[in-house]
Amino acid sequence: ITPAAPATTPATTGDTLKVPGYGRTRTEWVPNTLHTGAFTTGSVDPTTFTLTANGMSDAVCRGDAGAPILRETAGATQLVGIITKSSLTGCLGEDTTTLNTAAATRVDDLTLTTRLTAGQQLKPGGMLIAGPTTLAMRTDGDLVLTSAAGKTLWSTGTTGNPGATTRFDNTGNLTVHNNGGTKIWESQTTAPGGTLTLTPRGNLLVLDGQQRSVWSSNTVVRHDHDGDGRSDVGAWYAFPNAVSDALYTFPGQSGGSLGAPQKSFTASTDEYNAAAMKFVSGDFNGDGRSDTIALHGYGDTSVKAFFFPGLVDGGFGAPVQAWAATASSEYHISYMTPQAGDFNGDGRDDVAVWFADAGTGVTKLVTFTSKPSGTLNSPFVSWTAPAGSWLRSSTKFVSGDFNGDGREELSVFYKQGAQGVKAYVFDTLANGGFGAPGLPWWESTAWKWEQALPQAGDFDGDGHDDVLVWYAYDDGSDRTSTMLFEKVDGKERFGSATVSLDAAKTYDVARLKMITGDYDGDGRDDLAIMNHAQDDSVRLITWTARPDAKFNGGLAGWSSNPGAWSFPTTKLLTTYN
């Protein structure tokens, strides 16, 4: 197949064009073969044009939206547009006596790339495209980032300014200017020699001259294993009394519920011992689909990391060894708690390990940055705590891009005596390491650390990750409280705890596993649980987030028959442990 290059000049009135497609025809509802119609260009404006069929057999019908519009020039075929509205002329079940017009968008002089460099701009209709994610300068003046699910992940909110353009200027500032040249929005960044880059993961980044992130839309879709713009849930399942384990995926549905498990990789228990494995989920090779990395400890105290790539269908491929430590090294699986996130802002997730040496009492943060292959570079230490401090037994972790700089941070919810919790944030450095924590971003003297289950996500869709805590109260009730990111007097912190979900006395925290993600693809993170019901069935329940960061009512997803799924031997693949 010879590809058609995008045209550099627009279609002009009277041009004869061809439209191939698989939509409805004059005689078939769902044709199985490609058909082509001939059309004449009508009116042309700066971003769109119209088409009229040359005859009643030249149809652009339902199902043809998105079809290419081709022009032959000097023996070469060029792409001049994309169908956006069918004409219904000559279509089965429609009026076949009138030559109606179809509508199309122009592709000449539009930016179809993944980045802008200094001085470049997006004109009305211009786009950046990376994998399933699109950044478009709309004709109404709004710069909009859209997921594969067709949902708006982020926008500048500049609708109502037709003819506006996006510019990435020489100082590294991303701006939107109206038709008169007045600046109406800006990222307020300084990144000389940098780029504006859209990643396949769905994140828009301003990178400086050293390719370090200085600003982000923070629109990465967590654990999207099939790349459809909605989060899924992966799980390592150890079959009880069997000789194999397996990786499963529970796919996110359009409404936000989670579907039935789909089995992919099968693991022999001769090679893998789930009890000695610790998992993290992330896009480690940067292809836009989430993968998983497992740390595996062995009886001789050696440790290996295995990379399981995410596949197009949402499953997982066979693993490759990503890293290894010999039995004589300092690494031991019992000392290591892995977390995942893009800690250096290069568009690929990395692995950070909270390393608590039981022998010396010293705690360290160790970073393994990822390679394009999904394997890991050699680890390095960036932060060390004095012996006897920052005890692993008093820490609970979440990771997220809380300050919106394109690099994810690590937050530690630390136990304070018999009653009390403080949340600290370890900022990330340009190389993926971590700085020392400052004052707590949030604290409570009313909560017991043992009864608090922290989670992270962008629950209000503002481009900053937030935190929530599922708290099991002494009276048997459960509620989640959300603490939104805020910046007050130049200081970053988590705001006051606001109840976002009242689960009453419905759940027992000992019988649920929790995971956040954007399950409906609307740009706000939601909350999901796997619940082990009293009848021994296992059920998936999702609460989608509202614009005010509170949650809608629970959505029932997949459920098993009683006793058919082993809850205790299921490990959900999350970004933090």
What residue segments make up the domains of the chain, in order of their start? 5-106, 115-216, 233-572
With 80 as the cut, is the pLDDT of residue 63 above it? no
Going by C-alpha positions, the residue among 229, 428, 231, 291 that lies closest to residue 346 is 428
pLDDT tens digit sequence for 93-114: 776 566 678 888 787 755 557 8
What pLDDT does residue 151 have?
78
C-alpha dist (Å) from residue 365 to 222, 330, 347, 380, 410: 23, 14, 21, 8, 10
For residue 319, with 0-12 CB atoms within 10 Å meaning exposed, 13-18 middle and 19 or more buried, which class applies?
buried
Mean pLDDT score across all residues of the chain = 91
What pLDDT does residue 95 have?
62
Spatial separation of the C-alpha atoms in residues 277 and 152, rounded to whole Å: 37
With 90 as the cut, is the pLDDT of residue 513 above it? yes
Spatial separation of the C-alpha atoms in residues 190 and 221, rounded to whole Å: 26
Mean pLDDT of 387-415: 95
User: Which of the residue ranges 1-5, 281-285, 418-422, 443-447 would you say has the lowest mean pLDDT?
Assistant: 1-5
- CA 30 to chain CA centroid, Å, is 34
Contact 354, 437 (CB under 8 A): no
Report which residue type is found at 55: G
Contacts of 490 (CB under 8 A, 6+ apart): none
Mean pLDDT of 183-195: 94
What pLDDT does residue 439 have?
95
With 80 as the cut, is the pLDDT of residue 308 above it? yes
Higher per-residue confidence, 148 vs 54? 54
Going by C-alpha positions, the residue among 143, 183, 175, 141 that lies closest to residue 159 is 141
What pLDDT does residue 64 have?
72
pLDDT tens digit sequence for 207-231: 899 888 888 888 888 999 998 889 9
**What DSSP string describes 57-108?**
T----TT-TT-EEEEEETTEEEEEEEEEE---TT-TTS--SS-PEEEEEE-T
What pLDDT does residue 111 have?
52
Q: At 181, is the pLDDT very low, low, confident or very high (cuts 50, 70, 90)?
A: very high
Query: What fold does the segment set 5-106 form as a domain?
Result: Thrombin, subunit H (2.40.10)
Contact 561, 537 (CB under 8 A): yes
With 70 as the cut, is the pLDDT of residue 1 above it? no
Mean pLDDT of 2-7: 72
Q: What are phi and psi of 60, to 5 degrees?
A: -120, 105
Going by C-alpha positions, the residue among 203, 225, 235, 349 that lies closest to residue 285 is 349
The helix (H) or strand (E) run that includes residue 192 is: none
Higher per-residue confidence, 47 vs 337? 337
Contact 349, 282 (CB under 8 A): yes
User: Token pair of 94, please?
Assistant: 């429609």
User: Token pair of 234, please?
Assistant: 């992966």
Mean pLDDT of 357-381: 97
Domain 115-216: assigned CATH number: 2.90.10.10
3-state secondary structure of 525: coil
Mean pLDDT of 125-148: 86
With 90 as the cut, is the pLDDT of residue 4 above it? no
3-state secondary structure of 275: helix
User: Token pair of 49, please?
Assistant: 């044009």
Which of 58-62, 287-291, 409-413, 458-462 has the largest mean confidence? 409-413
3-state secondary structure of 4: coil
pLDDT tens digit sequence for 490-503: 899 999 999 999 99
What pLDDT does residue 202 have?
81
What pLDDT does residue 67 have?
80
From the options 2.30.29, 2.120.10, 1.10.10, 2.60.40, give the CATH code of 233-572: 2.120.10
Spatial separation of the C-alpha atoms in residues 390 and 395, rounded to whole Å: 7
With 60 as the cut, is the pLDDT of residue 334 above it? yes
Higher per-residue confidence, 296 vs 347? 296
Spatial separation of the C-alpha atoms in residues 49 and 130, rounded to whole Å: 26
The helix (H) or strand (E) run that includes residue 168 is: strand 165-168
3-state helix, strand, coil in the chain (%, to 5): 5, 45, 55
User: Which of the residue ranges 16-20, 89-93, 210-214 would you say has the lowest mean pLDDT?
Assistant: 89-93
